[in-house]
């Protein structure tokens, strides 16, 4: 598996991961998001989304779109089987805020002087939800982090369903074991804030709850991730969100040091 200077494309067998290179590829990512979020997970589309069958918003034009491609399916848009939306601080400034600001007070994050990266809209085609595909996505993120000298990654990660009482165990586990330090801790907006400490942590089988967390949330935690204060129910997407943040100096050697040797010392 080789990485071109300036990122390029990482390959693992027929699969590759790279940043979208055209509007057609971005549209393929939006179509995949439609299939996963709306058709599979039961999100509720507005009229435009329903007519276009694309999950698209104002952030897509300013974001970078990380793609997993299966080259056995063809090239370009036909090959897209996974995606992750990446928004850096300069891109968010074009909109006026990060996407997560609609749910969380990001003041502690925004006060940091270093590079920020918001991760979101992650999904993988049903036939490709393997450990290898997820590892390839994370390796692409690690390369991007080095390329742009990111110091903190963050974003909203989702638990399935909109009833916090049914999610009492995972929410309590995250609050009890992975709450961000106060100086870094985003907080759910007052009108949206759902308490995460919903039961006695001692009553939880932590090993089982951790094993049952969505793969994306577990991925953040493996990289030393923290969660903010409060969950947010997202009825449009039929999920309950938590704000997750990862200081890149805590990213494991497996996904990090490998790329430092292959990227230049100057950010693009």
**Domain residue limits at 209:** 10-260
User: Which positions ≥6 away from 253 have C-beta within 8 Å?
Assistant: none
- Packing angle of the helix pair 253-260, 131-148 (nearest 10 deg): 50
In a domain, 265, yes or no: no
pLDDT tens digit at each of 268 positions of the chain: 333 335 789 999 999 999 999 999 999 999 999 999 999 999 999 999 999 999 999 999 999 999 999 999 999 899 999 999 999 999 999 999 999 999 999 999 999 999 999 999 999 999 999 988 988 998 899 889 988 999 999 999 999 999 999 999 999 999 999 999 999 999 999 999 999 999 999 999 999 999 999 988 998 898 889 999 999 999 999 999 999 999 987 664 555 555 555 544 433 3
In a domain, 249, yes or no: yes
Q: What is the pLDDT of residue 260?
A: 52
Q: For the chain, what's the residue count? A: 268
Q: What is the pLDDT of residue 266?
A: 39
**Which SS3 state, helix, strand or coil, does residue 14 take?**
coil
How many structural domains is the chain composed of? 1
Lookup: tokens for 22: 């055209």
In a domain, 147, yes or no: yes
CA–CA distance from 71 to each of 77, 132, 154 (Å)? 10, 15, 30
- The answer to whether residues 75 and 25 touch, using CB atoms and an 8 Å cutoff, is no
In a domain, 43, yes or no: yes
In a domain, 5, yes or no: no
CATH number at residue 226: 3.40.630.30
Kindly calculate the radius of gyration of the chain based on its CA atoms and give it in whole angstroms.
Answer: 18
Q: CA-to-CA distance for 1 and 116, rounded, in angstroms? A: 27
Determine how β-strand 115-124 pairs with β-strand 150-160.
parallel
Q: What is the pLDDT of residue 256?
A: 55
What predicted TM-score, i.e. pTM, was given to this entire model?
Answer: 0.90
Q: What is the pLDDT of residue 6?
A: 52
In a domain, 178, yes or no: yes
Q: List the end-to-end C-alpha distance of the chain, in Å, as a whole number.
A: 22
Helices marked H in the chain — which ranges?
23-33, 47-52, 89-95, 107-110, 131-148, 168-178, 206-212, 215-222, 253-260
Lookup: tokens for 27: 């549209």
Q: What is the pLDDT of residue 37?
A: 95
Burial class of residue 162 (count of CB atoms within 10 Å of its CB; 0-12, 13-18, 19+): middle
In a domain, 154, yes or no: yes
**Which SS3 state, helix, strand or coil, does residue 120 take?**
strand
Q: What is the pLDDT of residue 3?
A: 33
């Amino acid at each position: 598996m080789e990485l071109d200077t300036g990122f390029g494309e990482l390959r693992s067998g027929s699969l590759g991961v790279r940043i979208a290179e055209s509007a057609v590829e971005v549209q393929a990512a939006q179509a995949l998001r439609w299939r996963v979020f709306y058709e599979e997970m039961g999100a509720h589309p507005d009229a435009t989304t329903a007519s276009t069958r694309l999950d698209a918003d104002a952030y897509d034009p300013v974001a970078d779109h990380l793609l997993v491609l299966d080259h056995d399916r063809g090239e370009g848009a036909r090959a897209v089987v996974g995606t992750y939306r990446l928004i850096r601080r300069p891109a968010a400034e074009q909109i006026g805020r990060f996407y997560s600001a609609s749910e969380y007070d990001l003041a502690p994050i925004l006060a940091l002087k270093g590079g920020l990266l918001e991760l979101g809209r992650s999904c993988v085609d049903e036939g490709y939800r393997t450990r290898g595909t997820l590892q390839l996505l994370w390796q692409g993120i690690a390369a991007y982090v080095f390329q742009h000298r990111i110091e903190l990654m963050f974003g909203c990660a989702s638990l399935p369903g909109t009833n916090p009482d049914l999610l009492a165990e995972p929410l309590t586990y995250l609050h009890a074991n992975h709450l961000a330090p106060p100086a870094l801790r985003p907080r759910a907006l007052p009108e949206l804030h759902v308490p995460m400490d919903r039961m006695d942590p001692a009553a939880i089988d932590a090993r089982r709850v951790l094993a049952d967390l969505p793969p994306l949330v577990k991925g953040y935690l493996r990289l030393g991730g923290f969660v903010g204060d409060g969950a947010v129910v997202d009825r449009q997407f039929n999920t309950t969100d938590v704000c997750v943040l990862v200081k890149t100096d805590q990213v494991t050697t497996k996904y990090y040091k490998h790329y430092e040797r292959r990227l230049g010392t100057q950010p693009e």
